[in-house]
Structure 1
Amino acid sequence: MSKLGNLGARLHRGEVGYDFVGKRKIWYGVSILITITAILGLTVRGLNMGIEFQGGADFTTPKTSVSVAQAGTYAQAASGHQAVVQKLGTGGLRIQIAGIDTSKSDQIKASLAKDLKVPAESINADLVGPSWGEEIAGKAWEGLAIFMVLVVIYLAIAFEWRMALAALVALIHDITITTGIYALVGFEVTPGTVIGLLTILGYSLYDTVVVFDSLKEQTKDLTKQTRWTYSEIANRSINGTLVRSINTTVVALLPVAGLLFIGGGFLGAGTLNDISLSLFVGLAAGAYSSIFIATPLVADLKEREPQFKALKKRVLAKRAQGGAEGNLAEARATGTAEDEDPQDAAPAVVGPRNQPSSRNRGRGRPSGKRR
């Protein structure tokens, strides 16, 4: 068995562990800081919405020697709007111009043909009206809201409302961070981005539910003992599934990183960026939130219940009593204990002391009997 496997087994048995729940205020602070940064990015820069959401035109050209940067300059001059240009495998270009009046598409097409030195009839133009783009955006938000509601209902039935609330907070945390990263890096938001968001939400929930299921099993009849508090059991649940969470996250991130950094970066397949970035950021944020946000938040909510408040008092009182007894025993063993009260000491022996009779006394002596 590998070292990681041995570590996972020891974590599962509770032999070793890290106090995630005990340091939850640190994780809350880190998450709040990241979330504020993401919200500022959304507020200041905003999202670069694709033509599917804003409306516009998508021009595909045949093979040309014009660079991507120069084609973007030509497209902006022809339309008066910022353009997104991507190099295609055929040597042609894909030029997306959002927010333009579709009635001007023929004029823009003719201008691009002249600048790129290609025939106008060889440029393919796909037009998206603004009303259709608004409808797509509305449907995307509607689907996301329905997904959230169904998730909360399911988790409330399968577990309890506190776990459902914690999972919802973790999901909102993941969505905010992912969309904030999109705003900061300026990647275009397309239907692929929405698909990526829904995918990572499902993954984030999977990781969270694994920890919640372990926590549910370990907290059965918890109030009948006085060894562990709810927060300590929650921490053991996180540690018990930690290696599994790390393994699944790394395995999921490797192919996504290949799409993002190799496919979209080195090979120039920009069409992969919209979905691969949402998957990469979302998978990392989902793994983080399931460990550092969702379960500690459940522990916070549960510790407010009267029965678990009373349990915590009993556990701490028992530990304090056991600690005092252990200190006294250690002091006696080392000879540092204070002198005992004479009244509590054993009474001294007074008067003659009778010697114990020996079982061998008289053995071998004559019995005195006459023959």
Structure 2
Amino acid sequence: MSRLGSVGHRLYTGELSLNFIGRRRVWYAASAIVVLIALGAILLRGLNFSIEFRGGVDFQAPVSAGSAQAAIPDVRSAVVDTGVLKGAEPTVTSIGTDQIRAETPPLTPEQIATARKAIANELRISESQIDYSSIGPTWGQQITSKAILSLGVFLVLVMVVIWLYFREWRMSVSGLVALLHDVFITVGIYALVGFDVTPATIIGLLTILGYSLYDTVVVFDKVRENTRNISASSRWTYSEAANLAVNQTLVRSINTSLIALLPVAGILFVGAGLLGAGTLKDLSLALFIGIAVGTYSSIFIATPLLCDLKEREPAMRALARRVAQRRAAAEKGTAGDQADAGAGASQRESVSTSARGSTQARPVERTQAAGRAQPQRKPRSRRSKGQGR
């Protein structure tokens, strides 16, 4: 933990920086691939809407402990053999280890009684032990329309609230795109794994959208703090200041997501997987996927998209030019200082070489001077013997 805290401190102060904004094209491409896969799953495989949305009859019957899975094919055959479904197939699943659930299309009261009696005979229990509920298709259509309406109202309110808080429509657009990104991926995973879409799924979807929005707002708030009056300076560009904000909130986002994912993972894998609590499966899966994807989108989608929109402003373009000119001048000045230092060193080396050369020449000059100063001796002339006489 101390090491993670040290990394967080280095990220916050800018000593360590991860270039999230500079690699935004990589994140865009990865998200586009995942969204296309999710969209293809929705269009090709479709969603398995629960009986609450499509309407029908839900039969629930007890079985011996541990025999729920073994009884599924027998119950399915018993319902089909009655002929009340007219060629349709019932959806038979287990609830835990001691209960069977059979879902059929809408039936008349007489058909319900026939199917109920067939299930009781197959499981060798009384008809009174089989609970059933009939949901009309009209009610299911109403639930579907209300779910779509609630999602649309939520997204509109998100845009309005972000715009009022930050006074920046670009943040509203970026936050909305991140939310739609989370919705498509979550719904696409539901289509891939074939889980039923229930009212609990819609509740979980709205919950994770709120969580994703919360994380995005925290990052945007730090971006606003770092970019306040940035157009009046020439130290950083808008993207660089926003990248610093993402680094400063990175550890916090990871810690918050991990803490939120732990109990949700417990509900999904322990409650729904091991204990067989099927009612928790839809809610926990939506929460688990949404929290993970929401954390990703707030860092890799929302903030980079905000920078793309913001950098198109004339003021931000002028700021980018000033920053580039300042850095070019600084690099040029550094290069000039290095060149002057190199020239000074060469000049000092030349002077030193000249000095050494002149020092070596001095003994020769002194020798020549000494030779010139030495008087020449005249040879003595011998007198002839008769000269002095």
Q: Same fold (TM over 0.5)?
A: yes
- Residue 22 of structure 1 corresponds to 22
Which 4+ runs in 1 deviate beyond 4 A? 334-339
Post-superposition offset of 1:64: 3.2
**Structure 1 residue 270 corresponds to structure 2 residue 278:** yes
SS of alignment partner, residue 16 of structure 2? coil
Map 1:23-172 → 2, pairs under 5 A: 23-64=23-64, 66-72=67-73, 74-75=75-76, 77=80, 79=85, 80-88=88-96, 91-97=98-104, 99-103=105-109, 104-159=111-166, 160-172=168-180
Q: What letter matches 1:10 in structure 2? A: R
Q: 1:321 aligns with which of 305, 313, 329?
A: 329
**Which residue identity is paired with 2:156?**
V
Q: Which residue of 1 aligns with 2:301?
A: 293
Alignment partners' CA distance in 1, 2:346 and 2:159: 60
Whichever residue aligns with residue 71 of structure 1, its letter is I
Q: Quick one: distance in 2 between partners of 1:272 and 1:102? A: 31
CA contact (8 A) 2:208 2:291 kept: yes
1:261 aligned onto 2:269: yes
* Counterparts of 1:92 and 1:227, CA distance in 2: 67
> Shift of the alpha carbon at 1:338?
9.7
Residue of 179, 182, 197 corresponding to 1:174: 182
Give the structure 2 partner of residue 213 of structure 1. Answer: 221
Cα distance 1:327–1:43, how it changes in 2: closer, same or farther (>3 A)? same
Q: Check conservation: 2:96, 2:275, Cα contact below 8 A.
A: no
Residues 311 and 73 of structure 1: CA distance in aligned 2, closer, same or farther (over 3 Å): farther
Identical-pair percentage:
48
- CA positional deviation for 1:336: 9.4
Q: 1:163 to 1:72 in 2, by over 3 A?
A: farther
> Secondary structure at the residue paired with 1:156?
helix
The structure that is helix-richer by fraction is 2
Matched residue, 1:358: none
Change (3 A) 1:219 1:77: same
TM-score by length of 1: 0.86
Once the two structures are TM-superposed, the CA of residue 96 in structure 1 deviates from its matched residue by: 3.1
Which one-letter code corresponds to 2:315 in the other structure?
Answer: Q
Task: Report if the CA contact (8 A) 2:56-2:103 is conserved.
Answer: yes
8 Å Cα contact 2:175/2:302 also seen in 1: yes
Contact 1:54–1:134 (CA<8 Å) still a contact in 2?
yes
Cα distance change, pair 336–101 in 1 and its aligned pair in 2 (3 A):
farther
Alignment deviations for residues 75-126 of structure 1 (CA, whole Å, 9 cap, x no partner): 362543241412346x2323333x3335422221111111122111210111
Give the unaligned 5+ runs of structure 2.
348-389
1:93 counterpart SS class: strand
Structure index of larger Rg = 2
Matching of residues 219-230 of structure 1 within 5 Å = 219-230=227-238
Q: Does 1:2 align with 2:5?
A: no
TM-score of the superposition, structure 2-length normalised?
Answer: 0.83
In 2, the alpha carbon distance for the partners of 1:185 and 1:214 equals 37
Deviation at 1:254, TM superposition (A): 0.8
SS of match in other structure, 1:241 = helix
What displacement does 1:58 show? 1.6
2:187 counterpart SS class:
helix
Query: Over the residues paired in the alignment, what is the CA RMSD in angstroms?
Result: 1.9
State the distance in 1 between where 2:108 and 2:316 align.
Answer: 63
Question: Relative to structure 1, is the Cα distance of residues 336 and 171 closer, same or farther in structure 2, using a 3 angstrom cutoff?
Answer: farther
State how far apart, in whole Å, the 1-side matches of 2:173 and 2:73 are: 46
